[in-house]
Amino acid sequence: MTASDVLLQLDGVSMQYGHGETAITALAGVDLSVSRGELVAVMGASGSGKSTLLTVAGGLTPPTSGEVIVEGHWLSQLSARELATLRRRSLGFVFQDFNLIPSLTALENVSLPLELDGWSSKKAHHPARDALGIVELTDRAQHFPSDLSGGQQQRVAIARAVVGGRSLILADEPTGALDSMTGELVLRMLRSRVDAGAGGILVTHDARHAAWADRIVFLRDGRIVDESQPSTVSSLLSGLPA
């Protein structure tokens, strides 16, 4: 693995809210990296620091200490404008409640990050259509979010997260509002984007969904307490047909 394969690196990242005796430590010295083609699940109880980790990794909040490095850029050294540009070009967020703009069509929602980055809407529609194709929603491009099912809305959100070659997907409980089968379809889409060369963090409290990841990190009280990786030998399933 080369340095350029590492999309995200957290080095000794700590995050404290408040000061003095009332200070709350949300993250305490977290080291984590995500490479191209890798999906890392972050698990932990409520209040363990999962969502804080995602907002810090996505440059939405600067950490109290430590460094966040996205595609080789040290976020602490970027101006607000540079940080906003990096976020638009490199990072895609997927939230539990989809966060689509109701007055825009699926295609317009997916085009939006590119248009905010200065693309004309005509030019932005082309990669947006490609992204909708990836999540198998080409035929829903002109639909408004209210005309789409929850699973379809989340697939639009994934298309928005990867449009224009953005490579790092940060997903916060993306299946939380979906039924079991629809959730699985959304994870399958997420997984296939990562297999195609993106990288991702999947925050979830659901073990079955975390199992889609290559690595699973457990957070407790803001610290990584354990990491799981699948074993290389599948002894368990030797009898099952492939």
Partner 1 sequence: MSVRQSLLAILNQGPCYGYQLRAEFDRRTGSTWPLNVGQIYNTLDRLERDGLVQKADIDADGQNYVEITEAGRAEVADWLGSPVVRTMATRDELAIKLAIAVTLPGVDIARVIQVQRSATMRTLQELTRTKNATADPESSDQLAWLLVIDSLIFAAEAEARWLDHSESTLSRSRAAGLAAPLPLNTDVPKRGRPARAVQAGA
Return residues touching partner 1 (CB under 8 A): 45, 188, 191, 206-208, 210-213, 216, 218, 225-231, 234, 236-237, 239-242
The least distance separating partner 1 from the CB of residue 180, rounded to whole angstroms, comes to 9
Name which of 22 and 231 has its Cβ closer to partner 1. 231
The least distance separating partner 1 from the CB of residue 79, rounded to whole angstroms, comes to 41
Name which of 89 and 205 has its Cβ closer to partner 1. 205
Q: Which two tokens stand for residue 73?
A: 């850029």
The residues pairing with 228 across neighbouring beta strands, listed in sequence order, are 216
The least distance separating partner 1 from the CB of residue 153, rounded to whole angstroms, comes to 23
Contact between 202 and 154 under an 8 Å Cβ cutoff? The reply is: no
Name which of 196 and 207 has its Cβ closer to partner 1. 207
The least distance separating partner 1 from the CB of residue 25, rounded to whole angstroms, comes to 17
The least distance separating partner 1 from the CB of residue 8, rounded to whole angstroms, comes to 21
Name which of 18 and 239 has its Cβ closer to partner 1. 239
Contact between 128 and 93 under an 8 Å Cβ cutoff? The reply is: no
Name which of 130 and 206 has its Cβ closer to partner 1. 206
The least distance separating partner 1 from the CB of residue 173, rounded to whole angstroms, comes to 15
| DSSP annotation string for the chain | --GGGEEEEEEEEEEEES-GGG-EEEEEEEEEEEETT-EEEEE--TTSSHHHHHHHHTTSS--SEEEEEETTEEGGGS-HHHHHHHHHHHEEEEETT----TTS-HHHHHHHHHHHTT--HHHHHHHHHHHHHHTT-GGGTT--GGGS-HHHHHHHHHHHHHGGG--EEEEESTTTTS-HHHHHHHHHHHHHHHHTT-EEEEE-S-HHHHTTSSEEEEEETTEEEEEE---SS--TTTTS--
For residue 156, give the amino acid letter: V
Name which of 36 and 215 has its Cβ closer to partner 1. 215
